[in-house]
Amino acid sequence: MIVGLGVTGCIAAYKAVEVLRGLQKRGATVRVMMTHHATELVGPLTFQSISGLPVIIEMFAPTDDPEIKHIQIAQEIDLLLVAPATANTLAKFANGIADDFLSTLYISTTAPVLVAPAMNVEMWAHPATRENVRRLRERGVEFIDPGEGYLACRTVGAGRLAEPDEIVARAWEMLNEPVDRRGGSSSRSGSSATPMTGERVLITAGPTYEAIDPVRGITNRSSGKMGYALAEAALARGAEVTLVTGPVALAPPEGARVISVRSASEMFNAVMGNLEAATMVLMSAAVADYRPAHPAAQKIKKGNNGMVVELEQTDDILAATGLKKDSRVIVGFAAETENVVANARKKLLEKSADLIVANDVSAADAGFDVDTNRVTLVSVEESIELPLLSKRAAADAIVEAAIKIKHTRDQQ
């Protein structure tokens, strides 16, 4: 398998060396293309020494090879991976500008494309960048969204390049997916993904926050990444998506109707208020089971003794949805630390769900705070254990399973 690795002018360019090594360890041949600005941050000789192949920078460099280089590489690669991808590169790709080797290669290849952006938090959030990302997603380009953290510009926020291991894992998944060379990866182009035109999907995501007093509260480690990935997967298939989200630090998926909530009570009301219009419900939010019974109106001052907080149960959103199920497909999630499948099956029956997505959140590479997940799809008929996947790839599998359930029900 041959990967074209594009490296652009971002301070995170040094991490592309780790991406290169990770791909090689999995058996891929990697052809590296660098923009001029990238060469000012990492020397081309580094990539050449590791890849064992010349690094391409110039569009029209003299060569003994009579082939038109960008066409030759465009036809031979199985995946174009750009990591890191700057805002400038995204703008070029989205608008068909081909003024250097990498942008010309992008517009020349029919291979799947995977992009890992990295930039300042304000650049990532800018409407122009969001519009360029939306356009590229619509054309089938896969994204590994940047993570949050301390950035080179000495600010904190979204914009940090995803971890090299995550980028390599997603690239390897795409290399092993069925591919339509005229339309890219099947998971995005729709060559094998089932369309959802006409479906109205209601999705919950993220944590809830239950106030103890005006400055303290009870919450959990959910990042919302799984729910947002589900929204992207449904949108990519043509569904109309309403995303009810707890407090997260993620950019809203382009095209989704987003309802931001804070507490379990607010999420309950938002779900119930939008349930009637939904044909499918995917409930990935980590909703608090308990909340303080008597939240203080003012900040509780520290005293010499301990403090007891009386808790009361919150409304069970999944159970309430199950009572109004009708013809809807309802997918619940079970974050477990033991007896994962058994607990998920119990939840499936008690909540009248059609599918429970179960995962062991005690695992280091799955569940909360990470970009990968290892889930088991539990239905009345079977339990299907999926391998470790990016949350975006797991979302595709979950959505596909939900569609299968709906189609089977419609045919009965």
pLDDT at 89: 96
CB atoms within 10 A of CB 92: 23
Q: Out of 32-36, 155-159, 349-353, pick the least confident.
A: 155-159
Neighbours of 381 (CB within 10 A): 8
pLDDT tens digits, residue range 283-331?
Answer: 999 999 999 999 999 999 988 888 899 999 999 999 999 999 999 999 9
Distance from C-alpha of 300 to C-alpha of 295, rounded to nearest angstrom: 10
- At 37-68, the pLDDT tens digits run 999 999 999 999 999 889 999 876 655 454 55
Q: Assess contact for 282 and 398: CB atoms under 8 A.
A: yes
Residue 269's CB is within 10 A of a number of other CB atoms, namely 16
Out of 35-39, 49-53, 123-127, 152-156, least confident range: 152-156
**Segments making up each domain of the chain, as ranges:** 2-189, 200-410
Residue 4 neighbours by CB distance under 10 Å: 24
- Judge if pTM exceeds 0.85: no
pLDDT of 184 over the 60 cut: no
Superfamily of domain 2-189: Flavin prenyltransferase-like (3.40.50.1950)
Contact predicate 19/81, CB 8 Å: yes
Choose between 278 and 385: higher pLDDT: 278
What mean pLDDT comes out for the span 230-256? 91
Q: Which tokens sit at 191?
A: 């060559």
- Say if 2-189 and 200-410 have the same CATH topology: yes
pLDDT given at position 370: 76
Least confident stretch, 184-198, 228-242, 243-257, 358-372: 184-198
The answer to whether 153 is a known catalytic residue is yes
* Higher pLDDT, residue 161 or 189: 161
Predicted pLDDT of residue 98? 92
CA distance 59 to 67: 13
Domain 200-410 sits in CATH 1.10.3720.10 = no
Which member of 98, 153, 251, 309 is catalytic? 153
Distances (CA, A) of 410 to 279, 328, 381, 405: 12, 10, 17, 9
Q: Which residues pair with 335 in a beta bridge?
A: 359
SS (H, E, C) the chain: CEEEEEECCCHHHHHHHHHHHHHHHCCCEEEEEECHHHHCCCCHHHHHHHHCCCCECCCCCCCCCCCCHHHHHHHHCCEEEEEEECHHHHHHHHHCCCCCHHHHHHHHCCCCEEEEECCCHHHHHCHHHHHHHHHHHHCCCEECCCEEEECCCCCEEEEECCCHHHHHHHHHHHHCCCEECCCEEHHHHCCCCCCCCCCEEEEEECECCEEEECCEEECCCCCCHHHHHHHHHHHHCCCEEEEEECCCCCCCCCCCEEEECCCHHHHHHHHHHHCCCCCEEEECCECCCEEECCCCCCCCCCCCCCCCCCEEECCCHHHHHHHCCCCCEEEEEEEECCCHHHHHHHHHHHCCCCEEEEEECCCCCCCCCCCEECEEEECCCCEEECCCEEHHHHHHHHHHHHHHHHHHHHCC
